[in-house]
Amino acid sequence: MGRAVLCRWCAGCCLGLHMALTAVLAAAQLAWRPDKAVDFTVGTVAGGNSDKITRLAQKILQDRKLVTTPMVVINRTGGNQTLAANFMAQHTGDAHYLILSNPVIFTNELSGRGKVRHTDLTPLALLMIENTVLAVRKESPIRNMADLAARVKADVESVSFALPTRGGQPHLSAAMALRAAGADPRRMKAVLFKGSGESIAAVLGGHVDVMVSSSGSVLQLVQSGQMRVLAVAAAQRMGGVFANAPTFKEQGLNTVGIAAWRGFHGPKGLTAAQVAFWEGALRRASQSAEWKAELERNYWTDDFVTSAQFRKDLDKDYADMKAVLVERSEEHTSELQSLRHLVC
């Protein structure tokens, strides 16, 4: 009898200890936060909008002590942002690595240029939308999209376009406008530059005809009257300085381009607690006065979306973009093949 009681007592102690340890581990998991330096990857050069957005997020997260460990922003450029995506894919399960993401993660995979898919990373939060614009220097004879359409229909290679990458969201938005104008986007004369500063210099110098970029990149030049916006790649007009810039559709082109969203991803295999930490920290950062002021200054659209909804939106956007790029009818050449011509 005594031995049976002792056995039951020991079993009870073991069960209690197991439950206590489980509770401690669960609590630790729920309370996850970075315990070493956080690495922010940017796939583009320093000084560009993606770099600015990431460094702003880093500053707010640290200034407000939302993250108490060191944070470093590293520009891992190359391969149209494929190098950055490949780097993230090497850190499965480690929530100390984040990357500022954008639609290039779709176009690289769909064009065959990159192997990392959006499902190979963990969406943490969508933060904002950048509007893409087509702009020219003030002296340009191209006054609007009707002028541009007439030129590219007559000879698509007669107009040059300053772009940050081949096959990226700005390139696709411009290509969709050319297709809507009746020109062959595969023959689009794309001139690539490492950053918006180089593109601006080329356009202002008369070496390239049209700059395709985010609205923020040309904001000051539009304000000063050095550049004019031909069109906004969006469903509706912007406000402020860009209020007089019509959309593609307002000018008779049946396209709205592709939304230039910006968000943060982590590597694949993150836990629910890790995702919850970053979602919460990024939400609080996006609610700060500094963040809102920077968005307003650059005409960026505030659009915070949680991890779960971001994942759903990405799946839908991927399907929509794939539909744009694949063959839609027997009368048209496959646009996926068109994209491959564009990026190769």
Task: State residue 327's pLDDT score.
Answer: 37
Write the DSSP symbol of residue 300. P
Q: What is the pLDDT of residues 162-221, one digit of tens each?
A: 998 777 788 889 998 999 999 998 899 999 987 788 999 999 999 999 999 989 889 999
Q: Is the CB of residue 231 less than 8 Å from the CB of residue 177?
A: yes
Q: Residue 151's Cα: distance from chain center in Å?
A: 31
From residue 163, alpha-carbon distances to 112, 149, 197 in Å are 20, 18, 11
Against a cut of 0.95, is the pTM above it? no
Q: How sure is the predictor about 15, in pLDDT bands with cuts at 50, 70 and 90?
A: low
Partnered with residue 230 across adjacent β-strands are none
Q: How sure is the predictor about 281, in pLDDT bands with cuts at 50, 70 and 90?
A: very high
What percentage of residues in the chain have a pLDDT greater than 70? Answer: 85
Give the mean pLDDT of 139-160.
Answer: 96
Q: Which tokens is 23 given?
A: 């509770």
**Separation between Cα atoms, residue 277 and residue 55, nearest integer Å:** 19
**Separation between Cα atoms, residue 314 and residue 99, nearest integer Å:** 15
Task: State residue 16's pLDDT score.
Answer: 55
Tell me phi and psi for residue 325, to 5 degrees: -90, -15
Half-sphere exposure of 69 (CA within 13 A, CB side): 13
From residue 205, alpha-carbon distances to 142, 189, 197, 210, 215 in Å are 15, 17, 12, 12, 20
Q: Is the CB of residue 52 less than 8 Å from the CB of residue 112?
A: no
Mean pLDDT check: name the lowest of 99-103, 172-176, 287-291: 172-176
Give the mean pLDDT of 223-227.
Answer: 96
Write the DSSP symbol of residue 247. B
Q: What is the pLDDT of residues 239-255, one digit of tens each?
A: 899 999 999 999 999 99
Nearest to 241 by CA among 227, 223, 259, 258: 223
3-state secondary structure of 40: strand
Q: What is the dihedral of CA 256, 257, 260, 265, to 10 degrees?
A: 110
Comparing 78 with 73, the larger pLDDT belongs to 73
- Return the amino acid letter for 63: D
